[in-house]
Chains A and B, each alone.
Chain A
Amino acid sequence: MSEESLLVVESVTKRYGETLAVDAVSLRVGAGEVYALLGANGAGKSTLIRMVTGLAEPDSGNIVVCGEEMRRKPLAAKRRVGYLPEELYFYQRLTGREYLHLVAGLKGADEARVSEEVEFFELSAVEGKWVGGYSLGMRKKLGLAAAFVGSPSVLVLDEPLNGLDVEMMRKLRLRVEDERDAGRAFVVSSHVMSFVERVADRAGVMRAGRFVAEGSPAELRRLARMPDAPFEDVFFHLASRQ
């Protein structure tokens, strides 16, 4: 992992009416690092991710992606980010390949890379079919392929494993590790703790919009004083402690 921070989140706060969704959160993710966001539903992970990807604007604080401020230069910042949202909406009557070409075109990316992603995510058999007929797993693979198209420096993946089969989960984990070694930064939100423990360099546990624990999986184990327990128990302990 290099010292260079590709993603910097500085004291970011977001409110929805009376609800404080994210409360002065700070975070740095370096090149070649996988950062896992953990937390129960409603802890603020998705809101933080939406702000990091420019889908929502923070009430205060600053987000910098590869040296570009999201607030001041959103297009330059978004050019460096690949994003897989939890909920996916596609054009029902476009084929998978057409959709990926659209995304590549809008990103200004090399459209030749589309074929590589189609092949990697095993979409070749359905690439000519309309997305409306895809299964949940196929749609997730298409979303992942769209996130990886254009080789972004920072990849933000919200629940990337939902709907994937075991083989594809493994393949995705290896891909994340390869891309990390190539110097990309990842922010991953997932409830699959075994995946998080294997792939994450650091993890932050969120509750009520704040980080309640942060560190490498090994550090989190030490913090929870649970060296041999399943990581799921470690997370539960950290997320629920006062």
Chain B
Amino acid sequence: MHQLRLIAGAWALEGGRWARENLYALLVLGPLVLGMTYFGVGRMLREAEWSPTEGQTLAAAFAAAACLVALSLSRASVEVYHVRRPEWVLDALPVSAGVQMSAALLRRGAHACAAGAVALVLRWLAGGSLNAWVFASAALLACALAAGEVLSALVWVRWSHMRGAGRAVSLVLCVVVAALAAGALLASVVRPAGLTSSGRTSLLLATALTAAAQGVVAFALHARWRAADAEFAKRLGARERWGAGLERFAKRVCGGRGELAAQLARDLRLVLRGFSSAVYAAAGVSALLVMLLVALLPGGVLAEGAAEGFGSMTWLPKVLALKFACVLATAALSALVPVLVAHQEPHLWLERSVGLKGEDAWRAKLYLARVVTAPAALAVWAAGVACGAVPAVYVLPLLAECAWLWWLVSTTAGGLAFELPAQPGLALVLVLCACLAGGGLTAFLWPIGLAIYGFAVQPLCMRGAMRAEMHLKGFEI
């Protein structure tokens, strides 16, 4: 207990100092983004005639919990096995595996508290009361997420190490169980009209038991696998799977400019190797959206609608759904760019020592955003065409619209690549908000995109190059 207190004390001290260093982001940018969300999305949701059903809320909560667990796989594994982290020292000191695991759970729990806080805010936005039960549920949500994330990370590293179908199934099961436990609780917190008091008690009890069981299994597996998997975790992703073809492709994309092509090839390689679990999560969300489209388009959920002419086909419900899905899928993959910029932060000495220009560093990220998001836009269009959701005469114009949306969203994400290089979480929110806002409006009426591109995206790109220059010169931005 004394050792755990010492470790937690060191983290608290570091966290407090980090917060002091990032007062601007925490006190100005954060509230700004939250305020814009509240007055924008929140207002739209409150005034909308549509409100989600019980089932839709549950499904969204499960999906959100599953994304949280999937997103945290690499971060949690790094924390459990201390890969290139200051906690490596714990392995060389007389600190037991149990204390190390407790510390990892504690750290995950601290991160998961943010999810609990978001759930409370969502409940408040939806007009629900904040009472002791809700606070207890939010706290338990953080515990359930932490236990699920740590257990899934352990199984993920094991699967990466040993492979095999059985281990893959175990990994999926871990994520699903964690998502079910946390998702049910999240839905009950977010939805004000909810359960009876006995129902709440049963849910709390069930979630607590599931989280405890996940924690116990995580402790047991950690003790059993630690020796072999800690070594492997340090070498995870070190295998080469992509040959010189990637360099040739990057060179072609960059118009033969070597300094850009080298960066793009490296970035693509990192993405393809899954430099972070964010890659899996982003790809998963995009794939889910395409699957959702395939499920929804042929059914009767979306109205057929009748176009009055060729020009009005752009507003057919199914076409609109396809365009919004294109924006969402592209934005989800675009979110990888700020995460990659933060991931590369410790290795920037290379760019600095070779005297790379900020504009070139930024442009490489812009190309990356365009390259990694292109398959999403194509897949959405292909899904729409394959499901017969688009009139034959509108197949090619829809392709042009999807291409336009892809170009706009990915350029926006690329423009914002270096906006908050040291704070990937906040940068992710910023990129997603900007992409969804610009893309959403353009999906509704494509010419609006021209104005957005001219008045917002172009200045954003100029700013992006400048921010990259400042970042490379080592200014705190």
Contact = CB atoms under 8 A, between A and B. Distances in A.
Interface of A: 16, 53-57, 74-76, 78-79, 81, 83, 85, 89-94, 98, 102-103, 105-108, 130, 146
Contacts of B18: 93
A54 B92 CA distance: 6
Given A102-B10, A106-B3, A130-B17, A56 B231 contact: yes
Nearest to A58: B227
B14 A79 contact: no
B89 A146 contact: yes
A106 B103 CA distance: 13
Number of contact residues on B: which range applies? 20 to 34
B6 A53 contact: no
B88 interface: yes
15 contacts: A16-B235, A54-B91, A74-B94, A75-B95, A75-B96, A78-B92, A89-B85, A92-B14, A93-B13, A93-B14, A98-B10, A102-B6, A103-B93, A106-B93, A107-B93
Interface centre among A53, A106, A107 (most CB of B within 10 A): A106
Contacts of A103: 89, 93
Contacts of B235: 16
Contacts of B96: 75
B50 to A, nearest CB: 46
A53 B93 CA distance: 9
A83 B92 contact: yes
Given A89-B88, A105-B3, A94 B10 contact: yes
Nearest to A56: B231
Nearest to B90: A106
Contacts of A102: 6-7, 9-10
A78 B93 contact: yes
B89 A94 contact: no
A47 B170 CA distance: 31
B272 to A, nearest CB: 21
A90 B86 contact: yes
A76 B91 contact: no
Q: Which 8 A-B residue pairings sit nearest by Cβ, starting from the closest?
A: A57-B227, A93-B17, A75-B94, A79-B94, A78-B94, A83-B92, A93-B14, A91-B86
A91 B13 CA distance: 10
Interface in B87-131: 88-96
A103 B10 CA distance: 11
Contacts of B231: 16, 56
B2 interface: yes
A107 to B, nearest CB: 6
A98 B2 CA distance: 16
Given A90-B86, A91-B14, A98-B10, A85 B94 contact: no
Contacts of A130: 17
B241 interface: no
A53 B88 contact: no
A28 B17 CA distance: 45
Given A75-B94, A102-B10, 7 more contacts: A16-B235, A57-B228, A92-B86, A93-B17, A106-B3, A106-B6, A107-B94
B292 to A, nearest CB: 40
Nearest to A57: B227
Contacts of A76: 94
B84 interface: yes
Nearest to B96: A75
Contacts of A78: 92-94
B13 A98 contact: yes
B6 A108 contact: no
A103 B91 CA distance: 12
Given A16-B231, A90-B86, A106 B14 contact: no
A85 B14 contact: no
B235 to A, nearest CB: 8
A85 B91 CA distance: 12
Interface in B300-339: none
Interface in B1-50: 2-3, 6-7, 9-10, 13-14, 17-18, 21
